[in-house]
Amino acid sequence: MKTPIPFTSLSVVLCALVCAGCCHVPPRKHATVPNKDFQCSFDKAPFISPRIIQDLSSWISDHGDQVVAINILESQDSNRYFGEAPIRKIPGQNPYVYHETATVEDGETNHTEFGYCFVGRTSSGIYVLLTSDRGGGSGVFRNLLLVTFEYDQSIKCNWEKGIVQPDAKRLLIKKCGEIPLGDRWDGELKVNGNSVLVGKDTGWFTVSGGTGGDWMSYDRKDRALQINLDR
């Protein structure tokens, strides 16, 4: 039978943890990229890995947000996100950064692709990305992904002193949220101050006159989204 830890001992440990956190953790602050800690960016090489951006994006089959923050300092060159990120140049836009995979099942090769294009940064410091997710079928689902960058700290455990305390600085990429644009959406996008200007859809469903797609395929309007987030 295990000997219970005295309440007074627990109190001492908890106080030590709280004090350590209060004394050493700096106020969280927003950051921009690239900076002295992290030289990668969304719009020029070296590019932020599209695999990281894909992990922040919700699956098409899910609702809501699952992964909302990633330590980008230790993720960019990690084994988890290893892989080349080819780009496609798009006239008048920032490069499209992507990764693709190919799997063979029942003798058929299935190609998937995920990528992003940097739209702009709002006056309040929110980065706006256009993401594109092709799962192997005809659908290519596009979203606006809004992210920020923020510093915090990792932890370390000192077993001799019985203290868990802050350790190395981390730079987090944090997901504010996603705004769906629809299957094969295409149109003008621009960040102006704290607004995102979303042009009318000129994508496949509009041009071909096909059925299906999302409401924006038939909206026929330019729209502006005011980003009112307290960041």
Q: Is 60 inside a domain boundary?
A: yes
Beta carbons within 10 angstroms of residue 150's beta carbon: 17
Of residues 220 and 114, which shows the higher confidence score? 114
Q: Is 78 inside a domain boundary?
A: yes
Q: Is 157 inside a domain boundary?
A: yes
DSSP string, 110-155: EEEEEEEEEEEE-TTS-EEEEEEEE-SSS--EEEEEEEEEEEEEEE
Question: In the predicted model, is pLDDT for residue 112 greater than 70?
Answer: yes
Q: Is 135 inside a domain boundary?
A: no
> Rounded to an integer, what distance in angstroms lies between the CA atom of residue 42 and that of residue 30?
17
> Rounded to an integer, what distance in angstroms lies between the CA atom of residue 186 and that of residue 200?
8
Return the minimum-mean-pLDDT range out of 98-102, 125-129, 207-211, 217-221. Answer: 207-211
Give the whole-number percent of the chain exceeding pLDDT 70.
87
pLDDT on residue 29 = 61
> Rounded to an integer, what distance in angstroms lies between the CA atom of residue 119 and that of residue 60?
22
Q: 49-61: per-residue pLDDT in tens?
A: 999 999 999 998 8
> Rounded to an integer, what distance in angstroms lies between the CA atom of residue 141 and that of residue 152?
33
Q: Is 209 inside a domain boundary?
A: no
Q: Are strands 96-105 and 108-121 parallel, antiparallel or unpaired?
A: antiparallel
3-class DSSP assignment, residue 12: helix
- Residue 177 pLDDT grade (very low, low, confident, very high; cuts 50, 70, 90): very high
Q: Is 204 inside a domain boundary?
A: no
Structural domain count, the chain? 1
Residue-number span of the structural domain to which 90 is assigned: 8-130+144-183
- Residue 108 pLDDT grade (very low, low, confident, very high; cuts 50, 70, 90): confident
Q: Is 212 inside a domain boundary?
A: no
- CA 190 to chain CA centroid, Å, is 19
**What is the average pLDDT value for the chain, to the nearest integer?**
86
Comparing C-alpha atoms, which of 26, 15, 50 is closest to residue 131?
50
Q: Is 195 inside a domain boundary?
A: no
Contact 166, 22 (CB under 8 A): no
CA dihedral angle for residue 130, residue 66, residue 73, residue 192, rounded to 10 degrees: 30
